[in-house]
Structure 1
Amino acid sequence: MTPPAIYPDLKNASVFITGGGSGIGAAITEGFLEQGARVAFVQRSDGHTFADVMEEKYGRRPLAMRCDVTKVAELRACVAKAAETQGPIRILVNNAANDQRHSTLEVDEAFWDWSMAINLKAYFFAAQAVIPGMQEAGGGAIVNMSSISYMMGSPDYPAYTTANAGITGMTRSLAREFGPQKIRVNALAPGWVLTEKQKEMWATPEGLEAHLAKTALKEHLEPRDMVGGILYLASDASRRMTGQCMAVDGGVVVSG
């Protein structure tokens, strides 16, 4: 993968990514490794094979840890291990999520709680875990992955869109609360990114055609298309940007 740009301040930065071993997260992990960052990531499945590939390609191994991010104690332990191994975390990318399709009338309390836990609660507690270290270090950057689905009012997964709207609200509040300590908090809202999971489970020819018709840039999004925005929000290039939600969707939604 060719770096979209070089950000010198990301070299040797300690980065923590949730869901960083597959899909969009894997592309983000690789993007930071290309910048020379020290990367730790968590996911529910074993990420060591992916870490092997990254080490062979870039000469530095990401720290891969198994973690159920909905379990706060596990998440905190992984953040602590990453900080101990690679230095205080300077950049957090909250990426882990699950956009399982569902309708309002089929949602029960257990499903609702699970969806909020993985798509919103984990973001808050990951941020809570890294912020003290960022305060001690004199600053840091948090990037929360949201989705344009809530902006569009998608009917295909109402619990998921609710959580993503919450991510934007949380981003703004944390940016206000911790801005005085030079901790920036922003969100990136992807459009429909065609990961292998999306292709296998939900991408039909008819659905893809209908979605492409809504875009200004007539190409489907790939995981690597999210990397440039993430690196920008994490780097000093956006040093005066906080509390914002930036859409990277090929021109489906507009703001301003």
Structure 2
Amino acid sequence: MSLPDHPDIPAAADTAQAAHHPSLQGRHVFVTGGATGIGAAVVAAFARQGARVAFVDVAAQAAEALSQQLAAEGHARPWWRTVDVKDIGALQAAIADATAALGDVGVLVNNVASDDRHTLESVTPDYFDERMAVNQRPALFAVQAVVPGMRRLGGGSVINFGSIGWQTKNPDYPCYAIAKSSVHGLTRGLAASLGKDRIRINTLTPGWVMTERQVRLWLDAAGEQEIAHNQCLPDKLLPHHVASMVLFLASDDSAMCTAQEFVVDGGWT
């Protein structure tokens, strides 16, 4: 029995007019958290550009559904593995195995994150460490794992995902805010050393993206009013809008962009 279409990516027909980036053809792209939400849209966007895509996630059923859907469209089936990114050894082993299968990684998308809500009073040292292990630590160690291959390729692109959540002073997840604000330090702290090898590193900051999870858990009448009040643009921000910016930053079209923040939030901030 076939799996249903993935809820976070549009059908191929809906993206037929999307920009084409020839430089992404055949490029090995590695995405963390690629089975659901924005990550799934990113994986699909790269596959539809003809890239060789690898991703990791803990959601095996969603990963298989995404892989099947893209293969059914006629694209190369993405390489994927079930990995809990809190286990840095497993993450780096997956990157090594994907490299052996698909070649050196030319693009790294540090997307994985979890915005579980919590209060200041509820945070324990163990919970804090667990939140950092999901939302902060994997990005640095993924960069560490792909940089040797990017040097062999003569360059590459690292795209770190930020969030407007801490910039808009959202009170519901202080640990997430700490982790996401640190993304800017990672990007700017590595830009000069990586740039010598033509490796670009940028932060992509999404607004409130209407993934299946966000709609199911958080979007209510008050949320609709918040979007209408804060966004300059009236349309819902969807995963494929963010994926379009990822494609640009991954491609040779952004050859002289590094150490920057690119915001896709409908004008919220």
Normalising to structure 1: TM-score of the pair? 0.96
Aligned to 1:5: 19
Give the SS at the match of 1:99: coil
The one-letter code of the counterpart of 1:14 is H
* Separation in structure 2 between the aligned mates of residue 252 and residue 233 of structure 1, nearest angstrom: 21
Aligned to 2:195: 179
Match in the other structure for 1:40: 54
Q: Match for residue 49 of structure 1?
A: 65
Secondary structure at the aligned position of 1:76 is classed as helix
* CA offset digits 1:100-133 (Å, max 9, x no partner): 0111111111111111111110111111110111
Residue 232 (structure 1) aligned to one of 223, 248, 263: 248
- 1:189 partner SS: strand
Say which of 20, 39, 56 aligns to 2:34: 20
- 1:118 counterpart = 2:143: no
- SS of the aligned residue for 1:181 comes to coil
Moved more, 120-129 or 48-57: 48-57
Pairwise CA RMSD: 1.0
Q: TM-score, normalised by structure 2?
A: 0.92
For the pair 1:146 / 2:162, whether they are aligned, the reply is yes
Give 1:195's aligned amino acid: T
CA distance in 1, matches of 2:259, 2:251: 15
Q: Which runs of 5+ in 1 are unaligned?
A: none
The alpha carbon displacement at 1:211 in A equals 2.7
Alpha-carbon shift at residue 15 of structure 1 (Å)? 0.4
State the 1:50 CA deviation.
Answer: 1.8
Aligned residue for 1:219?
235
Checking the alignment, whether the CA contact within 8 Å between 1:34 and 1:58 is kept in structure 2 is no
1:62-141 to structure 2, matched below 5 A, reads: 62-141=78-157
Q: CA deviation at 1:64?
A: 1.4
Matched position secondary structure for 2:216: helix
Equivalent-residue separation in structure 2 for 1:43 and 1:96 (angstroms): 8
* Regions of 4+ moved over 4 Å: none
Matched letter for residue 118 of structure 2: H
Asked whether the equivalents of residues 95 and 145 of structure 1 are also in contact (C-alpha less than 8 Å), the reply is yes
Percentage identity across aligned positions? 39
Letter in 1 for 2:48: E
SS at structure 2 position matched to 1:194: coil
Distance 1:111 1:194 in 2: 27
